[in-house]
Amino acid sequence: MQMTIKTSQKVTQVLSAQLVQHLEILQYSANELEQYIYEKANENPLIVVTDAEAKRQYEEIMQLASCSFNTFSLPYDVSRNDQFNIIEMKLAEKESYEQFLLEQVPMHKNLSSVDLRILKFLIQSLDDRLFLDVELEIVAQKYKTTLSHVEAILDLLQTFEPVGVGARSYKEYLLIQLDNDQFAPIIASQFISSDLELVAAQAFKQLSKKYNIPLQEVKKAVHYIKKLKPIIVGDKLETIPYVNPDIEVKKIEEEWIIKLNRHYLPSVSIDESYVTLLKNDLNYKTYYRDSIKDALALLQGIEQRDKTLYELARWFVQLQEDFFIDGLEAIKPMRLKDVAGVLGVHESTISRAIRGKYIQVPHGIYALQSFFTKGLMNTSGKMDSIMYIKKRLKQLIEREDKQNPLADQQITNILCTEGIQISRRTVAKYREEMNITSSFNRAYG
């Protein structure tokens, strides 16, 4: 046997620690980013943080100092209805949770009048945690419909913002968060469903043995679960305290103006005196190098987050201009894939960028995630919502010949002729989710 050594070239993508931090910052909501900034400042003496409130007061003082009260120029006519006082702070519109949820209803089209009544009733039946506080059987009786119909409406409600709304238990609340995060560990849902006590006790070895998976994978899943939000904070009838829009879009003289609302966040800088102190001390050479690297990564990460959000808003204006003018009725379904292709980035980057972030437009404040509706592309190039497809599937089964019920493949063929591009496996999945048995069981069961 002759031993030989061969060399080959292979291209692999390795995420640097800096890039990982940038992606982490990108996915933070404004509140999470604020907390992260303060945590970093506590760890790193080179990072200086100016509180957002102090920053606003300073900006107001500078505006007062630089303004002439007799005359000052603005880039457009302030005599119009959209005039604003640059000295007084604009009060944010206070919305109740209920109103906030009801405003998301028109984004989901193809809902019947009964669907809308059930959906609004479910919204009005949420407790202070935004958990559902009514039995689905009672709702089905109230509206003289099936339990599967009400469950389908609840599934729709659970796609609304904030994430977790409509959960019926703490476990379901955590599972909804998992469903909204494509980066969640696969085993995490099983841990939540069956072994939440072991997760709370951090019984890594026991979980590893039970599921026959590596200890490191168990630890990763458990740490992920512990980072999930425990409950939705606040009273459903109070204002939404954490909805500070990250982006504001308004029209001025026939031109859309995009503004990033950075004034909600503290400002970050580097303490030059500490830099001078540490840089010239040989005993702290390694510490200084690591600290300055970490501080610069934070500043660059925040800058990259701002840049990504701005680009996202710019394309929203181009792709959804009708929505910005006419409101929810004019919104067009979009996929992460569509926007990722336009911006030339991965879908995961868009997913991180829209998570927990809001945009203010002339007719209200909306979650960025609500721009992306779940559905399937039909042959006309438009998106059919999953809710609509399930409803159509149910109609076909209800109208079928009871002696010769439709098989999943037959249903698939009918939907395809209607322009809904769907596979037999997906039809079977939706049918099972609505607790509808197979054609064999419908005929002989």
Tell me what pLDDT residue 2 has: 56
Q: Summarize the confidence of residues 8-35 as an average pLDDT.
A: 70
What is the distance between the alpha carbons of residues 376 and 381, in angstroms, rounded to a whole number?
10
Cα–Cα distance measured from residue 287 to residue 295, given in angstroms and rounded to the nearest whole number:
12
| Alpha-carbon gap, residue 422 to 388, rounded angstroms | 13
What domain count does the chain have? 3
For residue range 426-439, what is the model confidence (pLDDT) as tens digits? Answer: 888 888 877 788 88
116, containing H or E segment? helix 113-124
CA–CA separation, 115 vs 260, rounded Å?
37
In tens, the pLDDT along 333-346 reads: 677 887 888 888 88
Cα 267 to Cα 289: distance, rounded to the nearest angstrom? 22
Helix axes 147-157, 386-398, angle to 10 degrees: 170
pLDDT the model gives residue 137: 92
Render pLDDT for 256-311 as a digit per residue (tens, 0 to 9): 899 888 777 888 888 888 788 777 777 778 888 888 888 888 899 989 899 989 99
Instruction: Confirm whether 307 is domain-assigned.
Output: yes
Do 250 and 369 have their domain in common? yes
Do 149 and 261 have their domain in common? no
Strand duo 255-260 + 247-252: pairing:
antiparallel
Q: What are phi and psi of 201, to 5 degrees?
A: -85, -5
What does the pLDDT read at residue 374? 56
pLDDT at 61 over 60: no
* Phi, psi torsion values for 270, nearest 5 degrees: -110, 135
- Express each pLDDT in 62-87 by its tens digit: 454 444 333 333 333 434 334 333 33
Lowest average pLDDT, out of 225-229, 320-324, 406-410, goes to: 225-229
Are 361 and 323 part of one and the same domain? yes
| Choice between 285 and 92, residue whose per-residue pLDDT is larger | 285
- Residue 238 domain flag: no
For residues 374-398, give the mean pLDDT: 69
Residues 221, 303, single domain; the answer is: no
Q: 20 lies in a domain?
A: yes
Average pLDDT value for residue range 20-28: 80
Note the pLDDT tens digit of each residue in 158-215. 888 778 889 988 888 888 888 777 678 888 888 888 888 888 778 888 888 888 989 8
Judged against a pLDDT cut of 60, whether residue 383 lies above it is answered with: no
User: Token match 């910005």: residue?
Assistant: 324
**DSSP state letters, 386-407:** HHHHHHHHHHHHHTS-TTSPPP
Query: What's the pLDDT score for residue 121?
Result: 92
Count of beta carbons in the 10 Å neighbourhood of residue 361: 21
Domain boundary among 373, 391, 409: 373
**Mean pLDDT rounded to a whole number for the chain:** 76
Residue 440 located in a structural domain? yes
**Which token pair is 380?**
């006309």
Backbone angles phi, psi at 322, to 5 degrees: -60, -35
Query: Is the confidence at residue 364, as pLDDT, over 80?
Result: no
Let me know whether 122 and 213 are in one domain.
yes
Co-location of 212 and 291 in the same domain: no
CATH code for position 434:
1.10.10.60
| 380/364 same-domain check | no
DSSP string, 84-107: --SSSPPPPPP-BHHHHHHTTGGG
pLDDT in tens, 127-162: 877 889 889 999 999 999 888 889 888 988 888 877
Specify whether 129 is located in the same domain as 54: no
Both 381 and 399 in one domain: the answer is yes
Residue ending a domain, among 373, 396, 423, is 373
Q: For position 195, what pLDDT does the model report? A: 85
Q: Is 253 helix (H, G, I), strand (E, B) or coil?
A: coil
Instruction: Give a yes or no: residue 91 inside a domain.
Output: no
**SS3 label, residue 351:** helix
Q: What is the pLDDT of residue 55?
A: 53
Angle at 373 (CA atoms; ends 346, 410), nearest 5 degrees: 105
Same domain, 221 and 336: no
Amino acid identity of residue 263, one-letter, is H
Tokens of 334: 């979009």
Residue 30 belongs to a domain: yes
pLDDT of 22 reads 78
Same domain for 269 and 362, yes or no, is: yes
DSSP 240: -
Q: What whole-number percentage of the chain has pLDDT above 90?
A: 4
pLDDT computed for residue 382 by the predictor: 56
Of 325, 342, 373, the position where a domain reaches its end is: 373
User: What is the reported pLDDT for 56?
Assistant: 54
Residue 128, CA distances (Å) to 102, 132, 164 in order: 16, 10, 13
**Which pair of tokens denotes residue 116?**
């809308």
Task: Please check whether residues 135 and 195 belong to one and the same domain.
Answer: yes
Q: How far apart are CA 440 and CA 445, in angstroms?
A: 7
Task: Give the domain extent around 353.
Answer: 15-64+243-373
Interatomic CA distance for residues 352 and 112, integer angstroms: 33
431 vs 234 pLDDT, higher one: 431
Verdict on whether the full-model pTM lies above 0.75:
no
Q: CA–CA separation, 159 vs 144, rounded Å? A: 24
* 277 found inside a domain: yes
CB 158 within 8 A of CB 170: no
User: 392 near 375, Cβ under 8 Å?
Assistant: no
In a domain, 247, yes or no: yes
Distances (CA, A) of 283 to 278, 359, 426: 9, 48, 64
Rounded-to-integer distance, Cα 338 and Cα 373, Å: 12
